[in-house]
Structure 1
Amino acid sequence: MPESLTGARDVLSPAVLSECVRAATAAPSLHNSQPWRFRLRDGGVDVYADQRRRLDVLDPAGRELLISVGAALFTLRLAIRREGFLPGVALFPDAGDADLVARVTVGRPEPVTPAVEALAASIAHRHTNRRPFARSMVPADVLEHLRDAARREGAVLTVADAPARDAIVRLSRAADRRLRARGGYRAEMSRWTAPGTGRRDGVPSSAVGPWDALETVPIRDFGLLRPLPPEPGGFEPYPTIMVLGTEGDGRAEWVTAGQALQRVLLAATWQNLATTPISQPVEIPAVRRLLTATAGGTWAQMVIRVGYGRPAAATPRRPLSQVLLLPGPDPR
């Protein structure tokens, strides 16, 4: 964030809030669909879901759309906190507008801590990494740091042991096959991965990983549309896999999952870890139920792979002019 935008103030100007929104657009989303919009208001920002960007085949209920918006919401909160203010959040504040996901208010000034600085500095460096990771183990204290990040956002992060990891990989492969059999799947994937001149969304070829010949890592098969060669040396044989869950499974919990997901991903980036959110096993209801601890009321929302790897390429982001609504009534 520009240095000129920081410093001691009593309020945040529209220019600074706009830069906070710009930071929020760096959040992850399904197929980089970026299904969010924002509106500056006196003393804060309204965060909207953009239903035009929902993936009908992969996400018919809009669960992953709200997870994506939740990730942007957390990033917006963090950007405001980085400016030296405490953000407040009200989820779904208007019963008459289902697409108004959150109303973020700028609270009282508060000194910026080193932890906030480090987490905010990770925003620009967090990129989904679909390439092989090193075979190095992730230390237990680092994994505990990630679990704590999820807890701080009201979610639960479980690190899979060896049997659970192998089961998750098998379930992910099964889910991927079932997804490919769905009508419209190829057309939808083509919509979000087809190259285009000046395109500022979707998954570019630079962000697509190689084919995992041994199927040890549950990476989505983008090779359906453009054949990819196996990676020399292959993927790590024993990936570190985590499952992010929430207590409950409604719209508010999906937003909570998105905020927790982004906090975990940024905390991992801070720890020099590469990350891959994996959504296939939670896109098939029958497979998702196998990952859900229904007895405890915890619902699986996302699978995350972490490890040490080379930096991944950034994916494009839409300009503010496309996501920042003008003040006043919603143009819809």
Structure 2
Amino acid sequence: MPSPPLDPTTVTALVEDATAAPSMHNAQPWKFRYLSGTGSMELRADPERTMPKSDPTHRAVHLGCAAALFNLRVAAVHAGREPVTTLLPDPADPWLLAEVNLAEPAGPEHDLAVLHPAVRKRHTSRHPFTDEEIPDDILDGLRGAALLEGARLYVPDAWHVKSVLSLVHDAEGREALHPEVREEMARWTDTGAKGDASRREGIPAYAFGPRQHDVTAPMRDFAGWHPVPGRGSATFEKQPRLALLGTAGDRPEDWLRAGQAMERVLLQATLDGLVTSLTSQALEWPELRWAVRDPGSAMGHVQMVIRLGYGPEGPATPRRSVGDVLDIT
């Protein structure tokens, strides 16, 4: 029997959890609308928060919105509702990415419920990780988490990691020579010079992490050559543990599945005591992206590179208010 419509307080709490998701440059490219009459939530991409130079196909937009979609699913189960999800429900409206019916009660032992404590705890860490090995059973669990969402997680060997790092450095060089890409990134970063504490989007200076002594980890330096008051430097891990998240296809539906798988992996990693960061630099250049994957694996297209390890947790980055991203009708 369908449950009664959710009250505005509960809907607001669901969206607050959803928007804790990561997105490229923390642009938060999502909009939600709750339809009280049907008990459904619509998730739309916000075309005003796209990055035409860095993300011309909107692949990253889909990944970020899909991460928010997964958080919404977790939050819905925590609230006692079954999130019946339809991806790309209207072919004539490509910005409508998903519809989630929340009218039915969730089962008492839903597999998503255990992930809810990690939704607000997960933060990107741009700090050095330790050299402690990640147990195989934890890595197997992360692989299983990706499979549950229709994606694959591949942990490359040391040789492949070096290859990926080389591609990331190549992407950094291309980015440095592309003024439009640099301008686009500058729109979403704050070096602290203006001290705009009211900003609710983008990457603030306090989340940049230290500058690397020797560039050994795949970390985008959002400061570039700009000085950041109080920012130090540090030595990062020499052999970073990376995981490649990918899908067989490379269409919008595949991106939405990959984004949900990415967030499921990140939440599971958080519960397992790991810290994480994401890097997409080499994936933002088509001529480099194809080389990131292992040709011997079943993964057709790499959608994200995830850095895993043990170390300090990253700080929470700002989020727009729910009132800015949610409509209730």
> What displacement does 1:293 show?
5.2
Q: Deviations over 1:85-141 (max 9, x none)?
A: 221111111122211100100253234438534311100100011110111111111
Does the 8 Å CA contact 1:130/1:208 hold for their aligned counterparts? yes
Match of 1:235 in 2: 236
Q: Residue type of the partner of 1:79?
A: A
The correspondence for 1:34, drawn from 19, 22, 28, is 28
Match of 2:226 in 1: 226
Q: Are 1:128 and 2:160 counterparts? A: no
Q: CA–CA distance in 1 between the matches of 2:200 and 2:274? A: 26
Q: Residue type of the partner of 1:14?
A: D
Aligned-partner SS, 2:21: coil
Q: Residue type of the partner of 2:69?
A: L
Number of aligned positions between the proteins? 318
Q: Residue type of the partner of 2:122?
A: R
Q: Are 1:25 and 2:45 counterparts? A: no
The correspondence for 1:181, drawn from 170, 177, 197, is 177
Q: Are 1:11 and 2:4 counterparts? A: yes
Q: CA–CA distance in 2 between the matches of 1:305 and 1:112? A: 34
Q: Are 1:74 and 2:70 counterparts? A: yes
Q: CA–CA distance in 1 between the matches of 2:252 and 2:159? A: 31
Match of 2:289 in 1: 288
Does the 8 Å CA contact 1:81/1:112 hold for their aligned counterparts? no
| Structure-2 change in CA distance of 1:22 and 1:160 (3 Å) | same
Gaps of 5+ in 2: none
Match of 1:267 in 2: 268
Q: Deviations over 1:237-290 (max 9, x none)?
A: 111100000110001111111101100000000111100011101111111101
Aligned-partner SS, 2:243: strand
Q: CA RMSD in A?
A: 1.8
> What displacement does 1:144 show?
0.7
Q: CA–CA distance in 1 between the matches of 2:4 and 2:244? A: 39
| Structure-2 change in CA distance of 1:86 and 1:98 (3 Å) | same
| Structure-2 change in CA distance of 1:51 and 1:294 (3 Å) | farther
Q: Are 1:210 and 2:204 counterparts? A: no
Gaps of 5+ in 1: 1-8, 328-332
TM-score (norm 2): 0.92
Q: CA–CA distance in 1 between the matches of 2:326 and 2:280? A: 28
Identity of aligned residues (%): 38
TM-score (norm 1): 0.91
Q: Residue type of the partner of 1:37?
A: K
Match of 2:162 in 1: 166
